[in-house]
Structure 1
Amino acid sequence: MDDRGKTLASARTIVVKVGSAVLTTRQGLHLSVLYNLVEQLARLAASGRRVCLVSSGAVAAGRTALAGRGCTAEGMSGKQALAAIGQGRLMREYEHAFAAQGMVCAQVLLTRDDLRSRTRFLNARNTFMQLLDWGVVPIVNENDTVAVQELKFGDNDQLASLLLNLVEADLYINLTSADGVLAVNPEKAAPGEPLPFLERIDDIAHLDIEALCGAKTSVGTGGMQSKLMAARRAAQLGVPTLILPGRRADILDRAFAGEKAGTWVRPCEHTVSRRKYWMAYQSDPQGTVFVDEGAARALEEKGGSLLPGGIRDVEGSFEPGAMVLVACGDTQIGVGLSNYSSEEIRRIKGLKRVEVAEILGDAHYPEVIHRDNLLLHAAV
């Protein structure tokens, strides 16, 4: 049995994400797809697995509900209003579908701020664990009705990647409108068969994500590039990803029975801690710190911390404790928590420790970013 078969057989906590392009049509929710999905999730649960579902579809369902009423939904407020209309419709169908299987589901709406605070992250984790212990299926979506731009996950692919850490999942399944990851960009050439698996997805130089991805769907916010970014994050955590054609009947059953559908994304050989994973992806970078080649080698090859002497420049405006990108020229090295503000870094860049002390005094950090607060090759 290969690694895919072994993982599918042994996985006990699974995060399944389904996108709008799978769940909706121009007429509204694709109920036959939704009910078939729930039947499959029920069978996974009956086999002793814990299942968490990340579901898109609220905005699309809301848009369909307003069809013919002359309402124009524009901008953030329009999308949030559509989500308010559609979320209840989406959950009503899920409740009916799970009830038909003798199961209970729970609605969980999140913003990024819920996972940014360590205390709220742990509270959310306790809630999810209790639901899963009860055999209840959490149905998770971004709280589009209230989320402002800086608190948004971006799309449900990224939300699902953060949920993997929250529920300590050992498998991530992404149900999409495509057959899997195609060998070439479908916008530029005939796509052909999907790739059966991807390795080294954390190695940007090895995998040209742009060449594999087409445009996002008309009803979603992500597209294949977003799915591969989420798979890169999952791989860093040691969690494999299976990208499957979500509209194909009983696709989950067939995958767990051994059918080689979709694309299997293998986890990284060297994984990161759950704490560092949470730290790196809990907020968007607020600026960029540019380092010289010597500092880049020290970070990537020796696992060192970033010292002031290796910094060439800084972009953006941020305070101490902010998440920042670290780059060498055009190459992104990683993300980390800065001990200094952008203004302080501008004052001490390129200096030795004794020179930093002369400017900032003795009460300063030796590192701009400590290695314990740095994640290399982050998927941002």
Structure 2
Amino acid sequence: MCSSSSSDIKRVVVKVGTNVLTNKDNRILGPVLRELVRQISVLYERDIMVVLVSSGSAIAGKEILGETNINDKSIRRQVYSSIGQPRMMRYYYNLFHDYGMRCAQVLATKRDFDPGVHRENMINCYEGLLSEGVIPIANEDDAVSLTMSMFTDNDELASLVAELLDADRLIILSDTDGLYTGHPDDEDSEKLTEVTTDQRVEQYIQASDKKEGEGRGGMASKLRIAKHTAKKDIPTYIANGKRENVIVDIIDDKEVGTKFIHQ
């Protein structure tokens, strides 16, 4: 089992999902983005660097372009994401600037994580940014990422980044408080506060999972990724991104969300 005090934590990867960043009408929520950046600034003041893996570009692009006549789902995602990426970065740039911080965009495909020159270049880029106190914002390079070069979703990208940088924590922010024994809205459902990598909890997924909007990930993906990352001795959390101070509370080892550890 891997454990450490918050003073030992120096690098954290935070993935924020589409359902956290949007409302029921699939509109980007500015206050949620601001709260996210505020918490990252709190960790920054503690000398804890965060790599942010942010969804939302497809929704942001759709807000600008509106409905399209493109029938192919993959091409439609490419177009929306390509339009939405600059808008999301403008949001983040302005918010980080308000807190006296700098951010940078790092786009990648799955192949960039394969052993070789591309992987080394990625490491060098991240290390360079982190050494300068710049917050990397990672996302899939949707314009060129198709079929074999696609990530399953941003949960997988976040896990790969956490492994790449030997992060101390991976925090996956969703629109639920963690993994439940049933659907989160059912009175009989209980939240699991801690799950070990050898613990069989997959049977709870069908009742609790839900996929909405433009996001590709669901709880089944989050569980798989959380266990995989925890096996790399990176404690991983699934928590509610709309909960106030959720990231800071996790770093302070408060009982928030579901924690996955290797045993």
- TM-score, scaled relative to structure 1: 0.64
Check if 1:162 corresponds to 2:155. no
Q: Distance in 2 between matches of 1:191 and 1:227?
A: 22
Query: Over the residues paired in the alignment, what is the CA RMSD in angstroms?
Result: 2.0
Amino acid at match of 2:138: V
C-alpha distance in structure 1 between counterparts of 2:143 and 2:203, whole Å:
31
Q: Compared with structure 1, are the counterparts of its residues 3 and 116 closer, same or farther at alpha carbon in structure 2 (3 Å cutoff)?
A: closer
Shift of 1:29: 1.1
The answer on whether the counterparts of 1:186 and 1:214 sit within 8 Å (CA) in structure 2 is no
1:119 Cα offset (Å): 1.7
Judge which range, 244-253 or 170-179, deviates more: 244-253
- Residues 29 and 61 in structure 1, CA contact (< 8 A), matched pair in contact too: yes
Amino acid at match of 1:237: K
Post-superposition offset of 1:73 = 4.6
Q: 1:171 to 1:27 in 2, by over 3 A?
A: closer
Match of 2:214 among 195, 211, 219: 219
1:298-355 CA deviation, whole Å, 9 max, x = no partner?
xxxxxxxxxxxxxxxxxxxxxxxxxxxxxxxxxxxxxxxxxxxxxxxxxxxxxxxxxx
Summarize the Cα distance change of 1:77–1:40 in structure 2 as closer, same or farther, 3 Å threshold: same
Q: Secondary structure at the match of 2:222?
A: helix
8 Å Cα contact 2:13-2:170 kept in structure 1: yes
- Contact 2:2–2:235 (CA under 8 A) maintained in structure 1: no
Alignment of 1:61-76 (within 5 A): 61-67=60-66, 70-74=67-71, 75-76=73-74
Which residues in structure 2 correspond to 1:188-203 (within 5 Å)?
190=187, 192-199=189-196, 201=197, 203=198
Distance 2:92 2:203 in 1: 35
Query: How many residues matched?
Result: 259
Find runs of 4+ consecutive structure 1 residues off by over 4 angstroms. Answer: none
CA distance in 2, matches of 1:17, 1:241: 11
**SS of the residue 1:181 aligns to:** coil
Question: Which residue pairs with 1:183 in the alignment?
Answer: 181
The alpha-carbon deviation at position 3 of structure 1 amounts to: 7.2
Q: Deviations over 1:177-236 (max 9, x none)?
A: 00111122459x54634211111x2x3xx4131423412233311111111111111112
Matched, 1:132 2:130: yes
Matched residue type, 1:247: K
- Counterparts of 1:146-157 in structure 2, within 5 Å, are 146-157=144-155
Which residue of structure 1 lines up, in the alignment, with residue 230 of structure 2? 235
User: How far off is 1:99 after superposition?
Assistant: 0.3
Distance in structure 2 (CA, Å) of the matches to 1:211 and 1:72: 39
Q: Which runs of 5+ in 1 are unaligned?
A: 270-380
Change in CA separation of 1:191 and 1:146 when aligned onto 2, cut-off 3 Å: farther
Q: Deviations over 1:109-130 (max 9, x none)?
A: 1001211242210111011011
Match of 1:13 in 2: 11
- Find the counterpart in structure 2 of residue 104 from structure 1: 102
Q: Relative to structure 1, is the Cα distance of residues 81 and 45 closer, same or farther in structure 2, using a 3 angstrom cutoff?
A: same
1:145 & 1:166 partners in 2: Cα distance? 23
The residue that corresponds to 1:60 in the other structure is: 59
Amino acid of the structure 2 residue aligned with 1:261: V
- Give the drift of 1:47: 0.1
Look up the SS of the partner of 1:28 in the other structure.
coil
Select the residue among 88, 91, 94 that pairs with 1:93: 91
| Equivalent pair of 1:73/1:79 in contact (CA under 8 Å) | no
Matches within 5 A, 1:1-380: 6-25=4-23, 26=25, 28-67=27-66, 70-74=67-71, 75-186=73-184, 190=187, 192-199=189-196, 201=197, 203=198, 206-212=199-205, 213-266=208-261, 268-269=262-263
Task: Using the aligned pairs only, state the percent identity.
Answer: 34
Matched to 1:152, the amino acid is: M
Q: Determine helix, strand or coil for the equivalent of 1:29.
A: coil
Query: Which structure has more RCO (C-alpha within 8 Å, separation ≥ 6)?
Result: 2
Q: CA deviation at 1:28?
A: 2.1
- Unaligned ranges ≥5, structure 2: none
Instruction: Give how far 1:85 is off.
Output: 0.9
Report SS of the residue matched to 2:13. Answer: strand
Q: Measure, in 2, the Cα distance between the counterparts of 1:117 and 1:81.
A: 29
**Structure 1 pair 255–186 and aligned structure 2 pair: CA distance change class (3 A):** closer
The 3 A distance-change label for structure 1 pair 122 and 8 is same
SS in 2 for 1:265: strand
> Matches of 1:115 and 1:239 in 2, distance apart?
18
Which structure is larger by alpha-carbon Rg, 1 or 2?
1
Tell me how far apart the structure 2 counterparts of residues 16 and 183 of structure 1 sit (CA, whole Å).
Answer: 24
The one-letter amino acid of 1:195's match is: L
- CA shift for structure 1 position 86: 0.7
Q: By how many angstroms is 1:167 displaced? A: 1.1
CA contact 1:15–1:171 (8 Å) conserved in 2:
yes
